[in-house]
Amino acid sequence: MKTKLFSLVLMFTAIASFAQQDAQYTQYMYNTINVNPAYAGSRGALSFFALHRTQWVGLDGAPVTNTISVNTPFNNTNLGAGLSIVNDEIGPSTSNSISADISYTISVSESYRLSFGVKGTANLFNIDVNKLNPGDQTDEQFQNYDNKFSPNIGAGIYLHSGKAYVGFSIPNFIETNAYNDNDVAIYKEKINYYLIGGYVFELSPSAKFKPAFMTKLVEGSPLQVDLSANFMLIDKVVLGLGYRWSAAMSAMAGFQISDAFYVGYSYDFETTALNNYNSGTHELFLRYEIFHKNSRMVTPRFF
């Protein structure tokens, strides 16, 4: 029988997982490929993306997330493809996933295009019991839980133009039990439902304003709502604020270094009791793009 300490730690891990499930991002508007496969190829460029997120700095076992992805359209077709790798650490648990995306896009008007996408994911789940510091090192139950493999599949739709977008997606259709204790699921990956959207307002030739939102619904967890408002100035500098309903406030900044390079940073300030035990959340990302000769954007796009 597993010790109470082990179960309590795993319950904490599960609580954190149920609260977030899929890895959480403040700058979701730049990382859409991770939650919606229909986004693949929608920027009209070979797009590379890398992100590092350190959540609740100073709190032992707090989530740390690293993400890299690439997506591109296929020339002279309506197809797009993407590949993503996510490393997510929470307490003694580590989840590594690799996802492949394929999308198909049709025109629905002069301005709008509708994309359909599917996602296939391979996930490896680990528990490092050495991080638990058990009192009895010889307890047979205190063994590393290595590379629990689980496949999954998801889908999404994405309606977009040069100024607006809205999408709905379910990245994982299959609920999986990554860890069981006497046939009771201690760590369970549940189905996540995403609805995203945004619109770009031209305030002047040198200023754009984009409000955006992302909602995430998971069974057994409160509805998560992220709201953001970003300003782009002289097509180079982006400044904005975000709010995660009943959870955190965010400050965001970005800079278009060149036509190819964009860098972004955000800081989250907790609005819950957790604020007493951590010094905030940091998120940094870099995007690099290679545009096709006939599709290079005249000005940077917000999403």
The pLDDT tens digits of the residues spanning 54-69 come to 999 999 889 999 999 9
Closest Cα to residue 37, out of 155, 198, 207, 210?
Answer: 155
What's the pTM value of the predicted model, to 2 decimals? 0.86
- Answer yes or no: is pLDDT of 7 > 60: no
More confident residue, 100 or 218: 100
Task: Provide the residue type at 136 as one letter.
Answer: D
Task: Name the CATH superfamily, with its identifier, for domain 20-131+146-292.
Answer: monomeric porin ompg (2.40.160.40)
Enter the tokens of residue 99: 């996802």
More confident residue, 82 or 4: 82
More confident residue, 14 or 101: 101
The pLDDT value given to residue 282: 98
The pLDDT value given to residue 5: 38
Mean pLDDT of 120-125: 94
- Answer yes or no: is pLDDT of 17 > 50: no
